[in-house]
Amino acid sequence: MKKDYIGIDLGSANTLIYSSFKDSIVYHEPTCIALDLVSKEVKEIGFLASKLAGKTPYHYSVIYPVEHGIVEDDEAAFLYLDTVLKSLKLDRRKGHDTIIFTAPSNTGKANKRTLLQLGKKLGAKEVIIESQAKIAALGCGDSVFAPTATLLCQIGAGVSDVCCLSLGEIVYASSTFIAGLTFDEAIRRYMIQNQHLSIGLKSAEYLKMRVGSVASLPENRLAEVKGKDTMTSLPSSIVVSSGEIKNALIPLANFISLKISDVIASLPEELIADLKSSGLILSGGGALLSGMRDYLQNLLSIPVRLADKPLEVTLEGFRSYSKILEEKSPK
């Protein structure tokens, strides 16, 4: 009987679930759950739960169970995934389902143990934990199984994962917490320190997407943001330019480039030579930051290109990985 492989990318900001039976992404919403603290009842999950953040009564709690790619609240994570899988009507009583979790390449034993226990509680007969960057690289396709270097940097919300593959397996990988949410926090802190305006992370993300860039733009983009004046504690607003936001983002982009450099320096000479032609592939939401490709290309002195569909590489990666597992499983 053909197995149903369920791929779960349990991210800091969003969770993506792939079903090999349906051969598609069946869920893609925020990793967020709203609980009633008195009755312990799940009130909302995903997008609806995230809309409640900061607006709930005292007996409600809005929880993001994953931070920087690590499960920090295993009970909330189980309630979240259990509710999601039930709503998707994925039949987990067959006892032959395999759950594939993605995790940062440098994830520790404690997080792996948590994911294994989580998969078992969800009813999986087999639980596999795989590198986020490897799944993303498999999703990019090109020559991953050839005896050449495939270098990829997956910039997610909570983690930037870097790996080099050859013959379809990881040669060296590393990860850092400097990622999309860190960019948002840097913008928030910049606004407090330089504009005396306290804003939320949602507003900081808006600025990042609207005027954020690590490149010198021909025109200075402008955006208005609202928040609390730190001097008067009254509502206020200000117009911010892309040049100002760049000052907050450049140090973080530079740190990611150093992490990629560390991975390159750890490779055998023959694979490093391959990178002069194959270069680096960028994927994930953070890769869409304006100017990121050119910035890394200038610093690393190798070709850098954006994945064809940077937000969908996980789908293709799960699809390829489940086919590999199916071919290896006994008939």
Same-domain pairing of 76 and 204: no
Judge whether 175 lies within some domain.
yes
Residue 10: domain span:
5-124
Q: Contacts from 275-279 at CB under 8 Å and sequence distance 24+?
A: 275/149, 275/151, 275/302, 276/302, 277/303, 278/143, 278/148, 278/149, 278/150, 278/151, 278/303, 279/151, 279/303, 279/304, 279/305
Same-domain pairing of 103 and 150: no
- Look-up of token digits 């709930």: 56
Number of neighbours of residue 128 by Cβ within 10 angstroms: 17
Judge whether 321 lies within some domain.
no
Same-domain pairing of 288 and 226: yes
**pLDDT of amino acid 52:** 82
Number of neighbours of residue 142 by Cβ within 10 angstroms: 12
Q: Which pTM was predicted?
A: 0.86
Same-domain pairing of 82 and 139: no
**pLDDT of amino acid 91:** 56
CA dist list (Å): 27 to 22, 224, 322: 12, 33, 17
**pLDDT of amino acid 56:** 74
Say which CATH number the domain at 26 has: 3.30.420.40
Same-domain pairing of 140 and 60: no
User: Largest Cα–Cα distance in the chain?
Assistant: 70
**pLDDT of amino acid 323:** 85
Same-domain pairing of 179 and 85: no
Would you write out the chain's pLDDT as a tens digit for each of its 331 residues? Answer: 567 889 999 988 899 999 888 888 899 999 999 998 888 889 899 999 888 877 777 778 889 999 988 999 999 999 999 999 988 887 554 555 899 999 998 888 999 999 999 999 998 889 999 988 889 888 887 678 888 899 999 999 999 999 999 988 889 999 999 999 999 999 999 999 999 999 988 899 999 999 999 987 777 889 999 999 999 999 999 999 998 999 999 999 999 999 999 999 999 999 999 999 999 999 998 999 999 999 999 999 999 999 888 888 888 889 888 888 887 776 5
Please return the burial class of 218, using the count of CB atoms within 10 Å of its CB with bins 0-12, 13-18 and 19+. exposed
Same-domain pairing of 226 and 98: no
Same-domain pairing of 36 and 18: yes
How is residue 141 written in tokens? 């396709």
Same-domain pairing of 190 and 247: yes
How far apart, in whole angstroms, are the C-alpha atoms of residue 305 and residue 11? Answer: 24
Task: Give, as one character, the DSSP assignment of residue 308.
Answer: S
- The b-or-e profile of 144-182 (16+ CB within 10 A means b, else e) is beeebbbbbbbbbbbbbbbbbbbebeebbbbbbbbbbbb
SS3 label, residue 100: strand
Please return the burial class of 73, using the count of CB atoms within 10 Å of its CB with bins 0-12, 13-18 and 19+. middle
Judge whether 216 lies within some domain.
yes
Judge whether 50 lies within some domain.
yes
CA 231 vs. chain centroid, Å, equals: 36
* DSSP β-ladder status, 5-10 and 98-103: parallel
Strand order in the sheet with 60-63: 42-45, 33-36, 60-63
Same-domain pairing of 302 and 160: yes
> Last residue of a domain, which of 101, 124, 147?
124
The structural domain count of the chain equals: 2
**pLDDT of amino acid 92:** 56
Judge whether 156 lies within some domain.
yes
